[in-house]
A and B are shown apart, each in its own frame.
Chain A
Amino acid sequence: MKSQVLQQFQEATRSLVNPELQKWKDQGGRVLGCYCSYIPEEVITAAGCVPFRMRGTGSTSTELADACVSLINCSFIRHSLDLGLRGEYSFLDGCAWVNSCDHVRRIYDHWKRKIDTPFVHLLSLPKKVTEPQVEWYREEISLFKDRLGFHLGVFISDERLWKAIRLHNETRQLQRQLYELRKRKDPPITGAETLAVMVAGTAMPRQEYNELLRELLDDLSRAEGHTDYRARIMLIGGILDDPRYIDVIEDQGGLVVTDSLCFGSRTMWRDVDENASDPVTALARYYIADRPSCPRMFGDHLRRSAFVKDMIRDFNVDGVIAERLVMCDNWTGEQFMLGEDLKETGFPYIRLDREYLLTGVGQLRTRVQAFLEMMGR
């Protein structure tokens, strides 16, 4: 669809620093990198910074990172670390990690040794989703809040945190409205366009992003929908931030109508509870127990599987494509388990491996074509 706002979002995915972020920096605003969707971005917003999801956008090689890590490590960490080593992330005032996976947690080790970023912090993220883990993460968030606040010279009060939570919840609600439109028989926005909207949300000042997203929703309410597709696809996987990957799927006629991605629905399907007793507990509960989980969370596969099945039903999905970065153990396991779950119901499902940079387009095209044909589409 043609929308100026949408173009603005799409442009934001093509480089690290988009005009909105540049404007923020020019005005003296601070930006903090986040290496995973489990980092409580609300704390960063409450500290007066823009949380920025780390990517490898614009990277063309990994020579510098390859000296740090190995070829059995995923290409996302090699590209994003390489950008860091080349100084492309010098616009950051700090960077935060959680021990997301065996690959990403090692970027923290290299980053703190080799890259001069004023503030680095890793939150110890539990791997289970029960009450003791909520309590543990509450303490972790509290420590992060205090340390970041001390570093910036900002007192991150409960009031500031609640304000940030409301702002981020507003983002989530707007994004869910966007997804709601995709339930239509003629969705007014493609999967690739949606991913651009979602990625842009992780790279812009949040207030401005919400305003732009409202404009986009307004545009979409008047837009014509897509009807020329062969099948409605749900896309599942980890860190996919390049809409062109989805373009390849959609060019074959598989319209991506929903997802479970790190830059997608898992980050916004639920809200942080604004009625909780204190904001740090509310955040801990949201990140550990409430939001749809990542495969690294033990004991939550049934809920993840149910989430996918609900999506299939609610978005009238015809087939599921599960993509993963080569060498990712979390998604290898999840793809296998989910495949078994869907096999039990006979639902069309395909697993695809990919590299972080868009390569092997011909092979991707062929596999998607075969999948659509297998579905009789």
Chain B
Amino acid sequence: MVRQYKYEPHLFRRYKEERDYFSFLSGILAQDPDPISQLSREITDITVERYDQIMQYAEEGKPFIAGYFCAAPEIYEAMDLPWYMIMATPFLAASAPYLLGDIDGAEAMGLGTDWCTACRLSLYYIEAELTPKPWALIGLIHPCDAGNLLHQSVARNQKWRDVPIFATDPPYFEDQRSIDYFAGELRRMVAFLEEHTGHKLDLDRLREVCIESNKQYELWAEYAQLRRAVPCPHGWGIGGPQCFAAVQVFQTGKPRGTQWLRNLLANTEQRVKEGVGTIPNEKIRYFWFDLLPFGWVFEFLPWLEEEWGAVMVMEMFGFTPYTPIDIRNEDTIFKGLAKRNLYDSPMVRQARGPADYFAADIVRVVKDYNIDCVIWPGHMGHKDGSASTGIMREICNELGVPYIHIGLDLFDKRYTTPDECKDKVSKFFSAMGLG
């Protein structure tokens, strides 16, 4: 049954603040003629437009949903359902000045402090009425326990009990039976969305979206190849995370996103041809095997470049193999989406199943990207990854590449402060004779 949606303007207070923040950022970037700033500006413009679209749909009483990048955003696009993540603030606006206060707010709610900060924050925003309420919620029960329990907590939250929720169940291993099963889960997700939003899935439209998104993945893969160059054409500030944002979140299957990737590629090719690196004197090429430390990124990653000549050549969201979706018929499309979302999608790919993915990705990145060291940040929420640390270290030992496990919170800089991280990494670089 299609839900009767009630527009509640007060739930958009924080959402508007974040839209304004990105709008401000776009304004600043617009003044900088540097091509990389312009590439970044395009992404922030797109981000602002996405915020505006959700607000407009809410005001006009049109269906919009909350969903996830690893739950087939191609389907949301094909169903004309704008979507946002309830984890948007920790992922997009984690450097906002209110973040630490919000983390304290989550703690005051009684949420366990060893529970992933991104999850705690997301639940806090719902309880504090700082998140728009969608027509329907696609929850996430993989790759981690924290996410699963977050969405269960959202489902039982008094303020969101009227929001219908569905989550796709993830099989553990990678084989055809698992792909078939997950394709079935995606079909059940479509039925759920049709029931609760009234929007129907048009297979031809889904095919168009998949064709366009295949192009996007191809361009992304090409871009990832170019980052092998020495010196690396781009650093932490542009690359994988923006490709991810464009392809899997804001511009899935949209020509504008495809064009942005072409522009990125053109810039990168030019730099590689000219031998221009992201910094003048690249000394250390590191693989940052996680999300960026969103909450304090500006206090740490620029320092690595300036102090050590250390360049983030690859990170978790920039490197994942992508399989094009076979668009021949409905069956192949759903199976293609299942494979992409289970086994290709970054973070989900590594964290959902056996630790072999962590090992295999390290081997490939280290070999292909001429990596000098692997940094496992060890985010406090990524328990499965940190439980794989011994395997990652052993793989690095076999490859003869130094490995460090820091132990930090990607969102809360009070957990391990930027200065402590700098100290740890400096000692590591020195001890390994890097830089």
Contacts of A329 in B (CB 8 A): 112, 114-116, 144-146, 148-149, 383
Rounded to whole Å, the gap between the CB of B412 and the closest CB of chain A is 14
Q: When the two chains form their complex, are residues A298 and B391 in contact, meaning their CB atoms are under 8 A apart?
A: no
Known contacts A128-B167, A132-B184, A136-B171: A73-B149 contact under CB 8 Å: no
Q: Is A179 an interface residue (CB 8 A)?
A: no
Q: When the two chains form their complex, are residues A298 and B115 in contact, meaning their CB atoms are under 8 A apart?
A: no
How far, in whole Å, are A70 and B391 apart by their CA atoms in the complex? 11
Question: Per a CB cutoff under 8 Å, which of B116, B141, B155, B388 touches A128?
Answer: B141
How far, in whole Å, are A253 and B389 apart by their CA atoms in the complex? 43
Q: Interface 1/0s, chain B 131-150, versus A by CB < 8 A? A: 00000000101101110111
Q: When the two chains form their complex, are residues A298 and B167 in contact, meaning their CB atoms are under 8 A apart?
A: yes
Closest to B145 in A: A329
- Total cross-chain contacts (CB, 8 A): 142
How far, in whole Å, are A124 and B169 apart by their CA atoms in the complex? 11
Q: Interface 1/0s, chain A 92-109, versus B by CB < 8 A? A: 000000010111011011
Contacts of A139 in B (CB 8 A): 177
How far, in whole Å, are A340 and B126 apart by their CA atoms in the complex? 15
Closest to A124 in B: B172
Contacts of A54-78 to chain B: CB distance below 8 A = 67-73, 77
Query: Which of A153-161, A210-218, A223-231, A331-339 lies at the interface?
Result: A331-339
Q: When the two chains form their complex, are residues A124 and B167 in contact, meaning their CB atoms are under 8 A apart?
A: no
How far, in whole Å, are A105 and B384 apart by their CA atoms in the complex? 8
Q: When the two chains form their complex, are residues B149 and A333 in contact, meaning their CB atoms are under 8 A apart?
A: yes
Q: Is B30 an interface residue (CB 8 A)?
A: no
* Interface bracket on A: 35 or more
How far, in whole Å, are A83 and B263 apart by their CA atoms in the complex? 55
Q: When the two chains form their complex, are residues A106 and B407 in contact, meaning their CB atoms are under 8 A apart?
A: no
Rounded to whole Å, the gap between the CB of A217 and the closest CB of chain B is 37
Q: Is B370 an interface residue (CB 8 A)?
A: no
Contacts of B383 in A (CB 8 A): 72-73, 102-103, 327, 329
Q: Interface 1/0s, chain B 375-399, versus A by CB < 8 A? A: 0001010011011111100000000
Q: Is A295 an interface residue (CB 8 A)?
A: yes
Q: When the two chains form their complex, are residues B115 and A127 in contact, meaning their CB atoms are under 8 A apart?
A: no
Contacts of B354 in A (CB 8 A): 105, 108-109, 122
- Interface-central residue, A72, A125, A139, A326, by most chain B CB under 10 Å: A72
Question: Can you pick out 22 interface pairs between chain A and chain B where the beta carbons lie within 8 Å of each other?
Answer: A68-B391, A70-B378, A70-B386, A70-B389, A72-B114, A73-B383, A73-B386, A102-B387, A109-B354, A124-B178, A126-B169, A127-B142, A296-B148, A298-B148, A299-B155, A301-B155, A329-B114, A329-B149, A329-B383, A333-B148, A337-B153, A340-B156
